[in-house]
Amino acid sequence: MYAGLWRLLPGPWWLRVLLLVILAAAVLYGLFFHVFPWVSATFLPQEVTVE
């Protein structure tokens, strides 16, 4: 999987590393700001009120 991704990326090795870093940053952003908040709000109960 990751070997395939490496072959898919264009350019010399330093450009591929740069692209991978950007890709990883984008994935982390998506996880931290969208996926994880949704998982937390949807699946993890948190009760702070009396009812």
Partner 1 sequence: MVGILGEILITLGVVTLLFVAWQLWIGDVIYGAERAAQAEQQSEIWQEEYEEQVQATPQATETPTPAPADSTADPVILAQPADAQIFGIMWIPRLGPDYHVNIAGGVTRARTLDPIGIGHYPGTQMPGEMGNFAVAAHRTTWGKPFNRIAEIHVGDAIVVETPDGWYTYRFRSLEYVRPSAVEVILPVPQEVGVSANDRYLTMTSCSPMYSLAERIVGYSAFESFTPRSAGAPASLTGGVA
Where does this chain bind partner 1 (CB under 8 A)?
A: 1-2, 28, 31-33, 36-37, 39-41, 44-51
- Alpha-carbon distance 47 to 2, whole Å? 41
Nearer to partner 1, 11 or 30 (CB): 30
24 vs 3: CA distance, rounded Å:
15
CB of 7 to partner 1, least distance (A): 14
How far from chain centre, in Å, is Cα 19?
A: 14
Whether 8 and 20 have beta carbons less than 8 Å apart is answered as no
Name the residue nearer to partner 1 (CB basis): 14 or 35.
35
Nearer to partner 1 among residue 5 and residue 22 (C-beta)? 5
